[in-house]
Structure 1
Amino acid sequence: MKVSKHNAEHYKWGDDCDGWHLVQDDNLSIIHERMPADTAEVRHYHEKSRQFFFVLTGTATLEVDGVEYILNSQEGKEVQPLVPHQMLNKSDKDVEFLVTSQPPSKGDRILVLKL
């Protein structure tokens, strides 16, 4: 069966953000996420999970260990385990992106204070 955000398991998070589980197993997670304008996730790190963020549409800001990276459509950035990070949408339009986590990040999230 083909999978897309139209038939994948959907969930809400943060301030009206959306997520769709495209791949969800013990070894790999791929999530399609949407963040409305002027929203942000909570800054955190993962003890085991290595992640890759890839912007599909819009412009996102990914803060990684105190450095902000502007990710435009069709650009991505890897985040290693134990590295604090935060995805932000500082733009005035929605941003959609993929988050690939290996192993899956569920239950592996440690919140950290703002810089």
Structure 2
Amino acid sequence: MKISKKIAEHYKWGNDCDGWYLMKRQDLSIIHEHMPPHTSEVRHYHEWARQFFFVLKGEATIEIDGKVIQLEEQEGVEVPPRVPHQMMNVSDEPVEFLVISQPTSKGDRILAEATSGVDNT
């Protein structure tokens, strides 16, 4: 079955961020997310889910286990299970990206303490 943001299940998160479930299964989820400028996810990790973040538009910053990585359009990074991470948009432009999780990260998120030097707002 064909899927698009127009018909995908939508949800709001964080400070006016959006997500669309392109695939929502127990063994795999694919979410298209949109973050306005100067927004961020809370630092967390997943006990079981392995995730891959891939930037479609804009620039994203992701902190993974204390290391800050800049992702530009058409770049991605993997986050293994049990590794603390935080996606951020520190730019003045919106960012859109895919989050691919295997298995689904739903119900698998555990909050992690902030690292020094990383804005956790």
TM-score using structure 2 length: 0.94
* Residue matched to 1:96: 96
Letter in 1 for 2:41: E
Structure 2 counterpart of 1:32, which letter? H
RMSD: 0.5
Partner of 1:42: 42
Residue 23 of structure 1: CA displacement? 0.2
Offset, 1:106: 0.4
How many residue pairs get aligned? The number is 115
Provide the rounded CA distance (Å) in 1 between the counterparts of 2:23 and 2:75: 21
For 1:1-115, what aligned pairs fall within 5 Å after superposition?
1-115=1-115
1:68 counterpart SS class: strand
Q: Secondary structure at the match of 2:63?
A: strand
Gaps of 5+ in 2: 116-121
- SS of the residue 1:69 aligns to: strand
Aligned-partner Cα distance in 2 for 1:26–1:36: 28
Distance 1:110 1:26 in 2: 18
Segments of 4+ moved more than 3 angstroms = none
Rounded to whole Å, the distance in 2 between the matches of 1:112 and 1:99 is: 19
User: Equivalents in 2 of 1:31, 1:96: separation in Å?
Assistant: 10
Distance in 1, matches of 2:7 and 2:96, equals: 17
With normalisation by structure 1, the TM-score equals: 0.99
Q: Distance in 2 between matches of 1:98 and 1:36?
A: 15
In 1, the alpha carbon distance for the partners of 2:47 and 2:28 equals 15
Which residues of structure 1 form unaligned runs of 5+? none
Measured in 2, the distance between the counterparts of 1:76 and 1:111 equals 23
User: What letter is aligned with 2:12?
Assistant: K
